[in-house]
A and B are shown apart, each in its own frame.
Chain A
């Protein structure tokens, strides 16, 4: 066993873990801001809007994230128009491509989670809001959005963990996040066991922290939705 190689490379793992967390939480934060309005559009009365959003979520939920990432990172270079445009310096950076792919992907999943929660809100809550004469905006911000978010908590917690795990794909486009670091150490030191096991341990610990945090948040904010014990 060669655990001293891992100890020597601890700073690399630390940097990798930081990048993993940065990728996961940046993607989640941006996608949250996009998914909330998209969830409303997904349930819009106008079929055109509804279908447009469902087409987007179907495309991104129906294909592997790896394909989406490669389409953006390797694929876009095929078009001269894009290569000559002002956005190329950004699109040729792996970090930007990874973030774009992750945001598009996780927004599709989050939109469906939120839209499903929105449909499950009892009609009475909205009727009460209307009866009190709340303007449309306030119905949304005071009643619908909070109810939608608390109802989404368990599924959204899963999606956060999925996103955390999906960041490991960033290693396929040269980024040195946790998995990338492990891969590099295996190549530099000709050891196959310890680096990946260390990476696995790091992901397991972060997942554990997220799950525990979510349980606390859920008990605090969504406790009223739990089935009552007699």
Chain B
């Protein structure tokens, strides 16, 4: 029985990982946009980005999840009612969870990428502009490779926090590792055993990520270390 339940808990690992991967992709996209907005010449963009990071980081993850899953559809439905539009909004838990985690970690990524961008010497971009290299190529060939290396420690940190934050999605009904663990705990009288299985899952995700990303860090700073020596 313990084995059956454990297998079912770990099988839900695919849901947890899917949620984590989709969220990190969304967060990275938002983070890049946010970082460029924060460093842009336009005052409105800078202000918007600052308000975004402040509001996101000032409210707990769980509250954000409840806001996106319960409050947002309710607001949309009220608005639809007001204009007599016959439609009913309801988000699937996985969609709401990806949107929430993407938005939250997008704010953390914004800060990570902003610091990394600031550490790329300005002269490089100026030289490229002087040579008339198009902006997209400047980004892909000059900024991106250095950004990867400089932002990696912060990125790793954000990913580790995000992977654990996915557990909150069980509270809005997503059938992830934590949800199955709760189910198993309630069906048997062995809550400790099954929550421990869930803990083991998250710990192994953390450990694998740490090992994998430290390998990436070594690779992306390979040339760097030789120069420094």
Give how many A residues have a beta carbon under 8 Å from the other chain's beta carbons.
Answer: 43
Point out the residues of chain A lying under 8 angstroms from B181, CB to CB.
67, 70
Point out the residues of chain B lying under 8 angstroms from A186, CB to CB.
70
Is there a chain A Cβ closer than 8 Å to B46's Cβ?
A: no
> Residue of B at shortest CB range from A192?
B74
Smallest CB separation, B12 vs chain A (Å): 14
Give how many B residues have a beta carbon under 8 Å from the other chain's beta carbons.
Answer: 42
- The contact string, 1 if C-beta is below 8 Å from chain A, for chain B 170-193, is 110000001001100100011111
Cross-chain contact of A63 among B58, B60, B64, B199 (Cβ < 8 A)? B199
Q: Across the interface, do B59 and A179 meet the contact criterion of CB distance under 8 Å?
A: no
Cross-chain contact of A66 among B59, B178, B203 (Cβ < 8 A)? B178
- The contact string, 1 if C-beta is below 8 Å from chain A, for chain B 198-209, is 110011001100
Q: Across the interface, do A64 and B59 meet the contact criterion of CB distance under 8 Å?
A: no
> Residue of B at shortest CB range from A82?
B192
Binds B, one of A72-80, A87-95, A218-226: A72-80
Point out the residues of chain A lying under 8 angstroms from B191, CB to CB.
70-71, 74-75, 77-78
Point out the residues of chain A lying under 8 angstroms from B63, CB to CB.
168, 179, 182, 196, 199-200, 203
Q: Across the interface, do A196 and B182 meet the contact criterion of CB distance under 8 Å?
A: no
How far does the alpha carbon of A68 sit from the alpha carbon of B167 in the complex, in Å? 11
How far does the alpha carbon of A193 sit from the alpha carbon of B70 in the complex, in Å? 7
Is there a chain A Cβ closer than 8 Å to B57's Cβ?
A: yes
Point out the residues of chain A lying under 8 angstroms from B189, CB to CB.
78
Cross-chain contact of B74 among A63, A79, A193 (Cβ < 8 A)? A193
Q: Across the interface, do A68 and B199 meet the contact criterion of CB distance under 8 Å?
A: yes
Q: Across the interface, do A64 and B202 meet the contact criterion of CB distance under 8 Å?
A: yes
- B-contacting residues, A45-71, CB 8 Å: 58-59, 61-68, 70-71
Cross-chain contact of A192 among B60, B70, B178, B207 (Cβ < 8 A)? B70
Q: Across the interface, do B199 and A207 meet the contact criterion of CB distance under 8 Å?
A: no
Q: Across the interface, do A166 and B60 meet the contact criterion of CB distance under 8 Å?
A: yes
Is there a chain A Cβ closer than 8 Å to B66's Cβ?
A: yes
Question: Could you list 24 examples of A-B contacts with CB < 8 Å?
Answer: A62-B207, A64-B165, A64-B178, A66-B167, A67-B181, A68-B199, A70-B185, A70-B191, A71-B191, A71-B192, A74-B185, A75-B195, A78-B193, A165-B59, A179-B62, A183-B66, A186-B70, A191-B74, A192-B73, A200-B63, A200-B67, A203-B60, A204-B59, A207-B57
Instruction: Give the interface of B toward A (CB within 8 A).
Output: 55, 57-64, 66-67, 70-71, 73-75, 78, 160, 164-168, 170-171, 178, 181-182, 185, 189-193, 195-196, 198-199, 202-203, 206-207
**Told that A67-B198, A179-B63 touch, could you supply 10 new A-B pairs with CB distance under 8 A?**
A1-B78, A61-B206, A62-B206, A64-B164, A65-B164, A66-B171, A66-B178, A74-B192, A193-B70, A193-B78
6 shortest interchain CB distances as A-B pairs:
A75-B192, A165-B60, A192-B74, A62-B206, A64-B167, A207-B58
Instruction: Give the interface of A toward B (CB within 8 A).
Output: 1, 58-59, 61-68, 70-71, 74-79, 161, 164-169, 171-172, 179, 182-183, 186, 191-193, 196-197, 199-200, 203-204, 207-208
